[in-house]
Structure 1
Amino acid sequence: MFELVTPLFLSLIVGGTLVGIIFGAIPGMTATMAVAICLPITYSLGLENGLALLLGLYVGGISGGLVPAILLGIPGTPSSITTTFDGYPMSKKGEGEKALRIGICASLVGGLISLLILFLFAPTLADFAIKFSYVEKFLIIFFALTVMAALSSDMLIGIFSGILGIFVSLIGTYDISKGGNGELRLVPEGTEYWLEGGFSLLPVLIGLFGLAAILEQAEIGMPKGHGIKDIKVGKKSTFSIGIFKGQLINLLRSSGIGTFVGILPGVGGSAASILAYSNAKTFSRNPERFGEGEPAGIMASEAGNNGLTGGALVPLLSLGIPGDSTTALLIGAFTLQGIQVGPLFIGNNPDTWNAMIFAMLVANLAMFAMMYVAIRYFALVVTIPKHILFPVILMMCVIGAYTINYGIMFDVWTLLIFGLFGWLATKLRLEVAPFIIGFILGPSAEVYFVKSLESFGDVTIFFTKSWIAVVLWVLIAASIAGSIILSKKHGEATDT
Structure 2
Amino acid sequence: MMEQSLMDLWYGFSVALQPTNLMWCVFGVLIGNLIGVLPGMGAPTAISMLLPLTYVMAPVPGILMLAGIFYGSQYGGAIGAILLNLPSHPPHAVTCLDGYPLTRQGRGGAALGVTMMSSFFAASVGIVVMIFLSPLLVQLAVNFGPAEIFSIMLMGLMTGATMSRGSPLKGIAMTLFGLVVGVVGTDVTTSATRLTLGMAHLADGIELGALCMGLFGIADFMLCVNRTTIKPQDAKVSLRDMRPTRAEIKQSFFPMLRGTAIGTLFGALPGTGPTITTFISYALERKWSKNPERFGKGAIEGVAAPEAANHAKTQVDFIPTMSLGIPGDIVMALILGALIVKGIQPGPQLITEHPDIFWGLVASFWIGNILLVLLNVPLIGVWVKMLQVPYRLLFPSAIFFICIGVFTARNSLFGVGEVAAFGVIGLLLMVLDFPLAPIVLGYILGPMIEENFRRAMLLAHGDLNIFVDRPISATFLAACALLVLVQVGSYAKKLLETRAQSRIVVGAQT
**Same fold judged by TM-score > 0.5?**
yes
| Shift of residue 174, structure 1, vs aligned partner | 0.9
1:198 aligns with 2:205: yes
TM-score (norm 1): 0.64
- Given that 1:172 and 1:198 are in contact with CA atoms closer than 8 Å, whether structure 2 keeps it comes out as yes
**1: CA distance between counterparts of 2:337 and 2:387?**
31
* Equivalent of residue 175 in structure 1, options 169, 188, 204: 188
- Given that 2:134 and 2:319 are in contact with CA atoms closer than 8 Å, whether structure 1 keeps it comes out as no
Aligned partner of 1:143 in structure 2 is 155
* Equivalent of residue 384 in structure 1, options 384, 389, 396: 389
**What percentage of residue pairs aligned between the two structures are identical?**
18
1:438 aligns with 2:442: yes
| Shift of residue 216, structure 1, vs aligned partner | 2.9
What pairs with 1:258-273 in structure 2 (closer than 5 Å)? none
TM-score (norm 2): 0.62
| Shift of residue 249, structure 1, vs aligned partner | 2.8
| Shift of residue 304, structure 1, vs aligned partner | 4.6
- The C-alpha deviation readout for 1:81-104, integer Å capped at 9, x for no partner, is xx9554589899997x99999998
- Given that 2:91 and 2:278 are in contact with CA atoms closer than 8 Å, whether structure 1 keeps it comes out as no
Aligned partner of 1:402 in structure 2 is 407
| Shift of residue 172, structure 1, vs aligned partner | 0.8
| Shift of residue 119, structure 1, vs aligned partner | 4.8
Aligned partner of 2:230 in structure 1 is 229
| Shift of residue 315, structure 1, vs aligned partner | 10
Aligned partner of 2:296 in structure 1 is none
- Given that 1:27 and 1:396 are in contact with CA atoms closer than 8 Å, whether structure 2 keeps it comes out as no
Aligned partner of 1:361 in structure 2 is 366
1:27 aligns with 2:34: no
Question: How many residue pairs are counted as aligned between the two chains?
Answer: 419
Alpha-carbon spacing, 1:422–1:275, altered in 2? closer, same or farther (3 Å):
same
- Given that 1:18 and 1:367 are in contact with CA atoms closer than 8 Å, whether structure 2 keeps it comes out as no
Structure 1 SS opposite 2:205: coil
- Given that 1:122 and 1:314 are in contact with CA atoms closer than 8 Å, whether structure 2 keeps it comes out as yes
Aligned-pair Cα RMSD in Å:
5.4
The letter of the residue matching 2:217 is: G
- The C-alpha deviation readout for 1:219-263, integer Å capped at 9, x for no partner, is xxx4xxx6252689979xx99984746423322224445xxxxxx
**1: CA distance between counterparts of 2:414 and 2:78?**
28
1:155 aligns with 2:172: no
Aligned partner of 1:75 in structure 2 is none
- Given that 2:321 and 2:336 are in contact with CA atoms closer than 8 Å, whether structure 1 keeps it comes out as yes
| Shift of residue 197, structure 1, vs aligned partner | 1.8
Aligned partner of 1:63 in structure 2 is 71
The letter of the residue matching 1:153 is: G
1:213 aligns with 2:214: no
The letter of the residue matching 2:152 is: I
The letter of the residue matching 1:229 is: I
Alpha-carbon spacing, 1:357–1:196, altered in 2? closer, same or farther (3 Å):
closer
The letter of the residue matching 1:156 is: L
| Shift of residue 366, structure 1, vs aligned partner | 2.3
Aligned partner of 1:291 in structure 2 is none
**1: CA distance between counterparts of 2:467 and 2:112?**
41
- The C-alpha deviation readout for 1:331-372, integer Å capped at 9, x for no partner, is 99xxxxxxxx996999xx9xx999997665334422443356
1:450 aligns with 2:450: no
- Given that 1:150 and 1:482 are in contact with CA atoms closer than 8 Å, whether structure 2 keeps it comes out as no
1:188 aligns with 2:197: yes
- The C-alpha deviation readout for 1:105-136, integer Å capped at 9, x for no partner, is 88756764464356546654322233222222
**1: CA distance between counterparts of 2:112 and 2:455?**
41
Larger Rg: 2
Alpha-carbon spacing, 1:301–1:482, altered in 2? closer, same or farther (3 Å):
farther
- The C-alpha deviation readout for 1:183-237, integer Å capped at 9, x for no partner, is 1101102x1x21112112222122112211233345xxx4xxx6252689979xx
| Shift of residue 395, structure 1, vs aligned partner | 1.8
* Gap regions ≥5 residues in structure 1: 41-50, 73-82, 258-271, 288-293, 317-322, 333-340
